[in-house]
Amino acid sequence: MSVDPAARAGPGAPRGLSPADSTWARLEDQIGWYDRKSGQAQRAFKGLKLATLVLAAGLPVAVAASAPGWIVASMGAMVAVIEGAQQLYKFQENWITYRSTCETLRHEQYLYLANAGPYADTGGRDALLAERIEGLVSQEHAKWAATQEQTPQPRAGR
Protein backbone atom coordinates (compact mmCIF):
# COMPACT_ATOMS: atom_id res chain seq x y z
CA MET A 1 0.00 0.00 0.00
CA SER A 2 1.41 3.37 -1.01
CA VAL A 3 1.27 6.35 1.34
CA ASP A 4 0.73 9.82 -0.07
CA PRO A 5 4.03 11.73 0.37
CA ALA A 6 2.17 14.83 1.52
CA ALA A 7 0.53 12.80 4.30
CA ARG A 8 3.95 11.56 5.47
CA ALA A 9 5.22 15.11 5.73
CA GLY A 10 2.95 15.67 8.72
CA PRO A 11 0.54 18.48 9.44
CA GLY A 12 3.28 20.91 10.48
CA ALA A 13 5.45 20.59 7.38
CA PRO A 14 5.91 23.91 5.63
CA ARG A 15 4.57 24.36 2.12
CA GLY A 16 7.12 23.66 -0.58
CA LEU A 17 9.29 21.52 1.71
CA SER A 18 9.67 18.02 0.38
CA PRO A 19 8.74 15.17 2.72
CA ALA A 20 12.13 13.70 1.93
CA ASP A 21 13.90 16.79 3.25
CA SER A 22 16.34 15.38 5.76
CA THR A 23 16.41 18.45 7.99
CA TRP A 24 12.66 18.49 8.53
CA ALA A 25 12.55 14.72 8.96
CA ARG A 26 15.36 14.94 11.53
CA LEU A 27 13.51 17.66 13.46
CA GLU A 28 10.26 15.67 13.58
CA ASP A 29 12.14 12.48 14.50
CA GLN A 30 13.98 14.19 17.36
CA ILE A 31 10.84 15.87 18.69
CA GLY A 32 9.08 12.49 18.69
CA TRP A 33 12.01 10.71 20.36
CA TYR A 34 12.41 13.28 23.15
CA ASP A 35 8.65 13.41 23.70
CA ARG A 36 8.41 9.60 24.03
CA LYS A 37 11.50 9.27 26.22
CA SER A 38 10.39 12.12 28.47
CA GLY A 39 7.04 10.41 29.03
CA GLN A 40 8.69 7.05 29.72
CA ALA A 41 11.11 8.58 32.23
CA GLN A 42 8.29 10.50 33.92
CA ARG A 43 6.17 7.36 34.31
CA ALA A 44 9.14 5.35 35.64
CA PHE A 45 10.07 8.08 38.13
CA LYS A 46 6.53 8.55 39.41
CA GLY A 47 5.86 4.82 39.58
CA LEU A 48 9.01 4.12 41.57
CA LYS A 49 8.39 7.10 43.85
CA LEU A 50 4.85 5.92 44.55
CA ALA A 51 6.11 2.40 45.32
CA THR A 52 8.67 3.88 47.73
CA LEU A 53 6.01 5.94 49.47
CA VAL A 54 3.64 3.00 49.83
CA LEU A 55 6.34 0.69 51.17
CA ALA A 56 7.78 3.31 53.53
CA ALA A 57 4.34 4.18 54.88
CA GLY A 58 3.54 0.50 55.28
CA LEU A 59 6.61 -0.24 57.39
CA PRO A 60 5.32 1.23 60.66
CA VAL A 61 1.94 -0.37 60.02
CA ALA A 62 3.58 -3.76 59.51
CA VAL A 63 5.60 -3.35 62.71
CA ALA A 64 2.53 -2.25 64.69
CA ALA A 65 0.58 -5.20 63.33
CA SER A 66 3.36 -7.54 64.49
CA ALA A 67 4.06 -8.75 60.96
CA PRO A 68 6.76 -11.40 60.66
CA GLY A 69 10.27 -9.94 60.66
CA TRP A 70 11.01 -11.14 57.13
CA ILE A 71 8.09 -9.08 55.78
CA VAL A 72 9.26 -5.91 57.52
CA ALA A 73 12.85 -6.54 56.43
CA SER A 74 11.73 -7.21 52.84
CA MET A 75 9.76 -3.98 52.74
CA GLY A 76 12.79 -2.01 53.96
CA ALA A 77 15.06 -3.74 51.45
CA MET A 78 12.64 -2.96 48.62
CA VAL A 79 12.68 0.73 49.55
CA ALA A 80 16.48 0.69 49.40
CA VAL A 81 16.53 -1.10 46.03
CA ILE A 82 13.97 1.26 44.49
CA GLU A 83 15.86 4.34 45.69
CA GLY A 84 19.10 2.84 44.35
CA ALA A 85 17.47 2.27 40.96
CA GLN A 86 16.28 5.89 40.98
CA GLN A 87 19.85 7.07 41.51
CA LEU A 88 21.31 4.66 38.99
CA TYR A 89 18.90 5.28 36.11
CA LYS A 90 18.25 8.99 36.84
CA PHE A 91 14.62 8.90 35.70
CA GLN A 92 13.77 12.34 37.14
CA GLU A 93 16.80 14.05 35.58
CA ASN A 94 16.18 12.39 32.22
CA TRP A 95 12.49 13.30 32.30
CA ILE A 96 13.27 16.98 32.88
CA THR A 97 16.16 17.13 30.39
CA TYR A 98 14.27 15.29 27.65
CA ARG A 99 11.15 17.44 28.13
CA SER A 100 13.24 20.62 27.99
CA THR A 101 15.01 19.52 24.81
CA CYS A 102 11.70 18.52 23.20
CA GLU A 103 10.15 21.90 23.96
CA THR A 104 13.23 23.73 22.68
CA LEU A 105 13.06 21.76 19.41
CA ARG A 106 9.35 22.61 19.11
CA HIS A 107 10.24 26.26 19.67
CA GLU A 108 12.70 26.08 16.76
CA GLN A 109 10.02 24.40 14.64
CA TYR A 110 7.50 27.17 15.31
CA LEU A 111 10.03 29.93 14.65
CA TYR A 112 10.98 28.26 11.37
CA LEU A 113 7.35 27.85 10.28
CA ALA A 114 6.59 31.48 11.16
CA ASN A 115 9.73 32.73 9.41
CA ALA A 116 10.54 34.48 12.70
CA GLY A 117 13.50 34.92 15.01
CA PRO A 118 16.74 33.69 13.50
CA TYR A 119 14.82 32.38 10.46
CA ALA A 120 13.38 35.74 9.46
CA ASP A 121 14.53 37.02 6.11
CA THR A 122 17.50 34.69 5.81
CA GLY A 123 18.44 32.90 2.65
CA GLY A 124 19.84 29.82 4.38
CA ARG A 125 16.87 28.94 6.58
CA ASP A 126 17.18 25.19 6.03
CA ALA A 127 20.91 25.14 6.79
CA LEU A 128 20.34 27.31 9.87
CA LEU A 129 17.59 24.97 11.08
CA ALA A 130 19.86 21.95 10.59
CA GLU A 131 22.69 23.63 12.51
CA ARG A 132 20.42 24.63 15.38
CA ILE A 133 18.80 21.18 15.62
CA GLU A 134 22.16 19.44 15.70
CA GLY A 135 23.48 21.96 18.21
CA LEU A 136 20.56 21.29 20.58
CA VAL A 137 20.79 17.52 20.22
CA SER A 138 24.57 17.57 20.71
CA GLN A 139 24.24 19.80 23.76
CA GLU A 140 21.68 17.47 25.32
CA HIS A 141 23.83 14.44 24.57
CA ALA A 142 26.82 16.09 26.25
CA LYS A 143 24.71 16.78 29.36
CA TRP A 144 23.49 13.18 29.37
CA ALA A 145 27.03 11.84 29.06
CA ALA A 146 28.17 14.06 31.91
CA THR A 147 25.42 12.76 34.22
CA GLN A 148 26.30 9.17 33.31
CA GLU A 149 29.90 9.79 34.32
CA GLN A 150 28.70 11.06 37.70
CA THR A 151 26.94 7.77 38.42
CA PRO A 152 29.13 5.70 40.75
CA GLN A 153 30.40 2.64 38.94
CA PRO A 154 31.25 -0.60 40.79
CA ARG A 155 34.98 -1.14 41.15
CA ALA A 156 36.46 -4.43 40.04
CA GLY A 157 38.68 -6.30 42.48
CA ARG A 158 37.57 -4.48 45.65
Assess contact for 35 and 24: CB atoms under 8 A. no
* Least confident interval from 4-8, 61-65, 102-106: 4-8
Indicate the angle between helix axes 125-150 and 22-64, nearest 10 degrees. Answer: 30
Chain segment 17-51, per-residue pLDDT in tens: 553 388 889 999 999 999 999 999 999 999 999 99
Each domain of the chain, given as residue ranges in start order, spans: 21-150
Q: Which residue has the higher pLDDT, 122 or 32?
A: 32
Q: Which residue has the higher pLDDT, 123 or 66?
A: 66
Cα(75)–Cα(69) distance, integer angstroms: 10
pTM over 0.75? The answer is: yes
- Output the CA–CA distances (angstroms, integers) from residue 130 to 30, 43, 102, 140, in the order listed: 12, 31, 15, 16
Assess contact for 89 and 44: CB atoms under 8 A. yes
